[in-house]
Structure 1
Amino acid sequence: MRHFKKLYFLTFVFAICLLNTKNSYSQSKIIDSLKTIAKKQKKKIKVQTYIEIAEHFTGINLDSAKSYSVKAHNLSTKIGDKVLTIITTHQLGNFARENSEYSKALKHFEESLKMSIKLNDSTLIANSYSGIGIVNSRLGDFRGAIKNFYESIPIYERLKDTTNIARGYLNLAVDLRKVKEFDNCILFNLKALKIFEKQNDLLNVAAINNNLAGVYNDNKNYEKAIKKAEEAKKYFFENNYIRYTAYPITNIAISYDSLNKPQKAETNYLKAIELHTKNREPYELAFLHNAYSNLNYKQKKYIKAINIGKKALEHAKEINALEFISSSSKTLAKSYAKIKDFQESNKFLMLHLNSKDSLFQKEKTKDIAELQLQYETSKKEIEIIQQKEQLLKQELIIKNRELYTIILGAALLILAILSLGYYHRYQFKKKQLQKEIDLKDALSTIKMQNRLQEQRLRISRDLHDNIGSQLTFIISSVDNLKYTTKDANTKLKEKLVGISTFTSETIHQLRDTIWAMNKNEITSDDVHTRILSFVEKAKTSTENIEFIVHYNIYKNTIFSSLEGMNIFRVIQEAINNALKYAEASKIEIKLYKKRGKLIVSIIDNGIGFDIKNVNLGNGLSNMEKRMSEIEGKVNINSEIKKGTEILVEVTLKNTSYDV
């Protein structure tokens, strides 16, 4: 239909882009939470919270939005923070725009732009250009809007601010549609959609869906337009953005109007008009009343069309929107002509011709193309500059890396030299200290051994002079008693002989002890000699027993006095046990070395015994105790009628300081 060539444009997206919420919580709950938080915050942070509260109120209650915008601006001015003052000035512009106070909005945005340029803050500069562009669009200055968006978008791209890049694309797409640049409109909508979907920003995705619904209306794809608009409407309604449901409802009304479904179209027009009237939005009301007037004109309801058309003209004049002054006056001229009031018809026809906007002429379209070309050229230049900066950064990184490598290498080399020097010095000191410690230990050991040796000699002298002489006196006394008691009975004589024999054995053992005490070290040859001496004595006291001694050890193998004495005593105890209990005719003693150990084997061919059923008594306990003192072992193997073997094992070591 011809009257739909004056299309409805979705300016609401600019307000939505200022909101920063992506969840489904109700706005009132979020606002209440922010109010509570603000009470405890410091002034600078409180300003930012006030701005956030104002943004949330923008979609619910404009009076409250204004209140918090003013609070934020006054507090930022009071604390003298330049950045916050710019931000709050910008917020005042947002409120004024949403309240359809476009001259005030422009004033605030231009003021924030001036302060941002002075402060040289790229983000704030881009935000100010974007704010001016949105107001230009609301006033029907689409060329001015597009120009300002092309100023803001490259700055956002240079800053890699993806969210504001997407918002810039979205704003630009809206105005490109208004000047019938449909291909570019779809392109920038899709570019914005890609970013918002990646960010999961469902609010702006809904806004884009509604914009695409408008484009589908332009291309007469009305069923698809209704589907997209319904999706957007559902999201706005479910998330309490009631104010913004007016925009998809308007697109739905246009679709049903174009599909020649006047009842559905009228229902949606009236609902959209109700919402925009509540929110005092003259731009949207000018468009809606004009579209609704045309719907009545088509139904030949000319008086109703005239009444509604006059409302459209009234709203258009309120904001000097030449586009809608032209379209509504044209509808009025046609309607008056139908009721044959040619004077009124001619009046509105002249108004239509005089106010016909030049925005859609070829010259202006050419200007838009030039702006787009400038943007593309600027974008490429920015990319080239960024590439050069990246190359310079990489070169600088490489040079710095090389320099750091050299510095690090030099530092490591110096550290290595210092560490090596310190290590050698430490090792030298350590060796010197160890030598001093070893010398002190050696001197201490020598002194201790000398004292021990002196103590041994003193004890051995005492044993020899006192106990030895006393034992010898006992033997002499016993022998004298034997002669003086010739007539004594045999039993008494046997007792005296036993005492004399026991005392003699004690003297021999005492001599062995004195022998061991007088030596620091005992060689294997000393032990061998003592064993042979003991065997000779055993031979004289026994009959019919053969003694065999096998000796296969390096004669200078050294034992400590304790080791030598304990080995000899164990051998002595083993031979005595064989003499007393074995009833043997042969006793064999073997001494040899095996795998670093001294092995002593005492074997008899006596009657043997069952180890499990015999109490071995103190003899074995004494042998085991002596061996444990020198880390040795004693094993007994015996079988009845096959004899007994006592096996002694002692690890050989060159320890010469044991007592």
Structure 2
Amino acid sequence: MRSKSFRIFKLLILLIFFSISNVAIAQNPGGRPPIKDLSEIKQMPASADKIIHLVRYARNPSMIYSDELKVEIEEVLQWAKDQKIDDQIANLTATRAIIELGLGNQELAVSYIKQAEEFLPKINDFQAVSIVSDLTRIYSRISNFEKAILYFDKMEALTKDKPQFILPRIAHLKNRINIDIRTGNTAKLKANYNIILKLAKESNNPDLLKNTRFSYAHALLNIRKEDEAFEILKELIPDLDNSTNNQTAQFFNILSRNYEANGDYKNALIYAEKEFNLPIATTQQKGNSVNKMILLSYLLKNYNNLDKYIVEHRKFGMDENNLFSRKQYFLAESRYYHVKGKTNLAKRNYKKVLNLKMGKQLAPTLDIAALTGLASLYAKENKNDSASLYFKKAENSLKKYPVNPATRLIYANSLKEFNQTNKISQDTLIKNLEQEMHLKDTLYQMSLSKITHELATKYRVSEKEKALVIAKKQQQLQQLEIKQQRQRNWLIIMGATVALLLLTALAYILFQRKKQATLLHNATVNDLRKQHRIDIMDTLTEAQEQEKKRVAERLHDEVGAMISIANLNINSLQKDIFSTNVDAENKLKVTQKLMSDISETVRNISHTLMPIALEKYGFKAAILDLLTAIKTANRLSVEHVIEGLDHTENWPQNFTLSTYRIIQEIVNNAIKHAEASHLFVQLIELDNALTIYIEDNGKGIEQDHDESGAGMKLLETNIAYLSGKLEIKGEPNQGTFALIELPIPNIVEL
């Protein structure tokens, strides 16, 4: 018993630790579990859990679709149809559409997504948003923009003014803007992005707001609004430095070009270097950025890294399909040789820049830089005619093309140096000075505006950083509060779990104790029943012995005496058989009477021991014979009612005989002691019991009457032996009744 209890205790301890570990895992917000492999999912039985894992697997962007996946989708889809789970059927059908789209089966994709659309009235809003999102995705991919816009409008109706759908609404508005850009319908671009920015702010998600602003800048680039994109990107500079994505290189390039256009070559070089150093930058992006780094170093007269730059420049080369990239490559070569004093190589590469043509593509800024560079080289060689020629060509390009003031100032400075070494007319000198002053003033104004704007930007960035710090601290505080709450919840759950397990253990122990007590009680009751049955058997045995003794005494006293007298008479007759005048006839008559009495007495004794009618004719006939005999012999009015008892031949013999004896004993008591004139006997056979009711109109039972006589004890013992119930009641001079209920034992089939 102790060993069993110890095992139970160990099991409870294990359960407690298991529950605690589960609670701890539940408290760890580690994100969604990893996506299961298809081989693992295949082992799972068809269920809602399997559908969740299968849909996650199928919708993973890096997934390679296969026929095996389609088979699994079909199996769980059939299960969902059998179970009539509408939301799962819609989800799986839409997933089939996405798979077919990924495999290039556009018609099948449209067919399946239309089937999923039919479930929209039957599913909840979250499922409906997912289905409509898939509809817009599929129609956008197959360039059916009319249908895509129709479902974008449905999505807007589903998600508008519903805070729980902020993220899906932002995503669908961004996709709508992409379609507008592709179709050339950009009139509402700014308005839609203002809505997106407002939603992103309402979400209180700084990362979402940042990504939305980057998306806005990218959209502006797609519609060639670089100046507006530049203004947005300047405010996002801290975020650009702290995060990297597939657009970062392009954003650094925009910043570099715009700073260069404004004459801020230092910042332009910084962002060109950042673009070049990006790990995710492409070969073309690295080639273009290193070329720009050489050109900016030339303008800044900072030649420290020029040799390092030229190595990278020749390593990454240029984009052969882009005129600007090719001209920039050879212009960088020219600047490098220009600085190194290799005049001929510099001239040759400057001329390459000027001679490069590609269809209708133009690069006037690079052409002017090459013309100005050639003019400067010829001026140093005192070839004034050639220098003047290239300066004139540069001037014509400045007049023909709208270039930024910084390029004009480069031209003006080079021309000023040339004029200082050559005699020119006063009017030309004044004109050049005025032009230079105007350009400087323009650049100054631009610089002043830029500085003012940068200060404002820095202030906004500073305020934003402060807000982000505050938001971060608030987030940390909230996370701390959440963590503390989770710890409290964990302790509560752990305590509740331990308490529950302890209560379970206590209940189990009490149950075992109760079970043991019940077993002990049942064992005691069984022992008592056995002892009671033994007592009954002893009483019956004693009664039988007394009955045997009574029969023996009767045989000895009555039958023996009569046999002795009969024997004397027979002996006397034997002696006097030849004598005359002997009263032989009288002796013979006496002997015959004695023999008749002996026979009657023996018959009565035999009938007392085993009624002949009971043995020959059955229980019912024996009872009727008994009642008839009583009525005849004792001059009693006997009334009887007997229901059933037609098939008592199947009753066990001891039950039949004991029941007969019980009825015989009660009736005999009524005859001997009650002085009754009327006797009523009722026997009713029920399904599984026999009811005996016997009533007389005799003198009843005295209050001080002793009911512990031998006859009553024998009667009670017989009834107890048969597991029956006895009730006897009587009032003085008002008769007596006895009610007995005996369960009929299982019938023995003959």
When the two structures are superposed, what TM-score results if normalisation uses the length of structure 2? 0.38
When the two structures are superposed, what TM-score results if normalisation uses the length of structure 1? 0.43
